[in-house]
Amino acid sequence: MSAGRFFLAIALAGLAACSRNTVPAEPAQAPTVPEPSYEARLGRDVFAHYCSNCHGDTGAGDGFNAYNLDPHPRDLSDAAFQKKKTDAELADTIRRGGAGVGLSSLMPPWGRTLTDRQVVEVVLYVRSLKKAVP
């Protein structure tokens, strides 16, 4: 009988070990997008006031006025576009407008409206719009 009790004790210990509540592994979290810098957040406000009517809230070129314009406004969030343009080129386009840099004359020059600091802030905000490359 003592051998039977021994095997019963082993079996119960095995069941107890298997039935322990294990903490499930935490699900993998999606990578978080870093919070834009203070200057980029200031640029977002300027962009919302002067640029979003044509370029859209997310810079995708789908603003309220976009469908009335030919050519349509550029998708500023396009990764290929972002890679191709330097900050200086973006700032120059903002200051001189489309016609000033050989693009569409439908984009007005903002160089006399915005301060140099605001132009830099808008460029920082535009950089934060970059879509992930698929």
Residue 31 falls inside a structural domain: no
**Which domain range does residue 88 map to?**
37-134
pLDDT band at 133; cut points 50, 70, 90: low
The per-residue pLDDT for 36 is: 77
Residue 4 falls inside a structural domain: no
Residue 5 falls inside a structural domain: no
23 DSSP 8-state letter: P
Query: Between 31 and 87, where is the model more confident?
Result: 87
Collect all residues with Cβ–Cβ distance below 8 Å to 132 and sequence separation of at least 6: 79
pLDDT at 104 over 80: yes
The per-residue pLDDT for 32 is: 62
Q: Which CATH number is 74's domain given?
A: 1.10.760.10
Residue 24 falls inside a structural domain: no
Residue 101 falls inside a structural domain: yes
Residue 10 falls inside a structural domain: no
The per-residue pLDDT for 60 is: 95
The model's pLDDT over 41-86, given as tens digits with 9 standing for 90+, comes to 999 999 999 999 999 999 999 999 999 999 999 999 999 999 999 9
The model's pLDDT over 1-30, given as tens digits with 9 standing for 90+, comes to 566 666 556 655 665 555 555 556 666 666
Distances (CA, A) of 65 to 8, 56, 127, 133: 79, 9, 22, 27
The per-residue pLDDT for 100 is: 95
Phi-psi region of 97 (alpha: psi -120 to 50; beta: other; left: phi over 0): left
Number of domains making up the chain: 1
Residue 22 falls inside a structural domain: no
Q: Which residues of 53-83 are buried (b: 16+ CB within 10 A; e: fewer)?
A: ebbbeebbbbbeebeeeeebbbbbbbeebbe
Residue 96 falls inside a structural domain: yes
Give the containing element (helix H, strand E) for 17: helix 2-18
